[in-house]
């Protein structure tokens, strides 16, 4: 089936509430499928990673961001552009190392937990939003930036804020191009 030449492609968006409810159902099903929280966390991370390696193309096409020249610039783009574009929130960024390769994204509001009050006591080590870590890690890897991404604090676990830690694992390579 072909499109008419002058017709604009329609963008279909699902509502944020539907996405959050669907995500909650996914996590609930994973908790039924796996006995250990570590297995659920690993599965969410793998799923997020797969999403991230595919989402980066959409992000680069829609955002028109230029190549980042530093880790701090990369962290700012993740917070101010990517999170805003896909989740509708803008976390604050703080650098947590003197070497400049560790950053924290601090979320005042985490949209994935809109309908979650607290984790059950028997699921204390569950990282409910671990999908986000995988998405960030997968997207960064696709632009040749290896990183470790994990939750450092989580409001669902009683912490004051939700904080995602990003540690870039190696220095960006300085490539000189011959012309």
Tell me, letter by letter, the H, E, C secondary structure of the chain: CCCCCCCCCCCCCCCHHHHHHHHHHHHHHHHHHCCCHHHHHHHHHHHHHHHHHHHHHHHHHHHCCCCCCCHHHHHHHHHHHHHHHHHCCCCEEEECCCCCCEEEEEECCCHHHCCCCCCCHHHCCCCCCHHHHHHHHHHHHHCCCCEEEEEEECHHHCCCCEEEEEEECCCCCCCCCCC
* 1 within a domain of the structure (yes/no): no
Report yes or no on 5 lying in a domain. Answer: no
177 in a structural domain: no
Would residue 24 count as lying in a domain? yes
Number of domains into which the chain is organized: 1
- pLDDT tens track, the chain, 179 positions: 455 555 444 444 567 788 889 999 999 999 999 999 999 999 999 999 999 999 999 999 999 899 999 999 999 999 999 999 998 899 999 987 888 899 999 999 888 998 888 888 899 999 999 999 999 999 999 999 999 999 999 999 988 899 999 999 976 554 444 43
- pLDDT (0 to 100) of residue 7: 46
Note down the domain range covering 25.
Answer: 16-168
Q: Look up the CATH number of the domain holding residue 20.
A: 3.30.1380.20
């Amino acid at each position: 089936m072909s499109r008419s030449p002058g017709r604009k492609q329609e963008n279909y968006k699902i509502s944020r509430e539907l996405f959050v409810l669907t995500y909650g159902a996914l996590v609930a099903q994973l908790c039924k499928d796996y006995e250990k929280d570590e297995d659920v966390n690993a599965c969410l991370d793998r799923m997020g990673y797969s999403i991230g390696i595919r989402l980066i193309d959409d992000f680069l096409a829609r955002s028109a961001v230029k190549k980042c020249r530093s880790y701090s610039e990369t962290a700012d783009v993740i917070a101010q552009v990517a999170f805003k574009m896909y989740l509708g929130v803008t976390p604050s960024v703080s650098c947590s190392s003197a070497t400049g390769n560790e950053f924290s994204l601090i979320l005042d509001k985490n949209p994935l937990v809109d309908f979650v009050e607290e984790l059950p006591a028997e699921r204390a080590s569950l990282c409910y939003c671990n999908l986000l870590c995988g998405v960030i890690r997968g997207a960064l890897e696709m632009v040749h930036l290896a990183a470790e991404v994990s939750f450092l604090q989580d409001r669902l676990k009683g912490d004051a804020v939700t904080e995602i830690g990003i540690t870039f694992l190696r220095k960006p390579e300085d490539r000189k191009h011959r012309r």
